[in-house]
Each structure stands twice: as C-alpha cells, then as structure tokens.
Amino acid sequence: MLSLLRLIFIWWRGATLGTLVTTWWSGRYVGTDQYGNRFYQTKDGKRRWVLYSGTVEASRVSPDWHGWLHHTFKEPPTVAPLKAKAWERAYTPNLTGTPSAYRPDGSLASKGERPAATGDYEAWKPQ
C-alpha cells in the first residue's frame, strides 16, 4: 500500500503513476543514456519525455539527450550521436547537495575551519 502511495504522489523518486500509464499507453521507447535514464516519445513524435533512473534531476540528462528532448535534434542520439569537439569536457551532472559538491576554502562545509585573517581588513567603526 505504501509503495502505491509513493508511486502516485512522490514524483522526485521516479515516475508517477500517471507518467507510467502515459508511457505504457502512448509511449514508444527511443533509448537509454549512460546513466540509465530511459527516453520515450509519442507514436507521432510530437511529445518526448524521460523516465529518470533514480532521483528526478534535470541536470542528470546529458547534453545530446537534452537537445533531443527539446526538439533541437530530430534524431535521437542512438541514431545520430553528437560529435564531441576536442575542447569539450566529459559531461558531469549537477553535484550540488552531494558529497562531491564544490566546497571552496573557507566554506564551513569544506574543513570546518576558516582561514586565518591576513590583516588587510579594517572593520568599519561609526563616528
């Protein structure tokens, strides 16, 4: 019973019941990316969507699939993959809120210690 309620109401853990019914009823499987996300479109190709593998986070969709989802590319990356440029870095999803997030020096989440003051700051004093 609890899993059925999660399926109906909790969208951030995966697809809701409505999305799964729509996918079953009118979806045509197009492909899967390297993160396990599954991509679908309607039979006429007008509507496209993704069923996430894990947490629903838009940054977990790679740029080539993102372009296909937004109708920038006609063919999905399984048919016509993007050609990587020499200057491009490998895609990484948004790491905010994860243990791998960027934590600059001085951040309390970094080491819990702020760097020592250098003496180049003078506090404002009212006159």
Could you give the number of structural domains in the chain?
1
Please give the residue range of the domain that contains residue 16: 2-69
Residue 48 falls within a domain, yes or no? yes
Residue 44 placed within a domain: yes
Mean pLDDT per segment of 10 residues, for the chain of length 127 residues? 66 69 86 90 91 82 90 89 83 81 79 71 84
Answer whether residue 91 is part of any domain. Answer: no
In a domain, 11, yes or no: yes
> Which regions of the chain does DSSP assign to beta strands (E)?
27-32, 38-42, 48-51
Helix ranges (H only) for the chain are 2-9, 17-26, 63-69
Amino acid at residue number 25: W
Residue 63: per-residue pLDDT: 84
Stated pTM of the model? 0.64
Q: Is residue 13 a part of any domain in this protein?
A: yes
**Within-domain flag for 110:** no
Predicted confidence at residue 108, as pLDDT, reads: 74
Please state, in angstroms and rounded to a whole number, the distance separating the CA atoms of residues 36 and 22: 20
The span from the CA of 92 to the CA of 71, in Å, is: 22
Q: Does residue 125 fall inside a structural domain?
A: no
pLDDT for res 13: 64
* Residue-level pLDDT at 26: 87
52 domain-assigned: yes
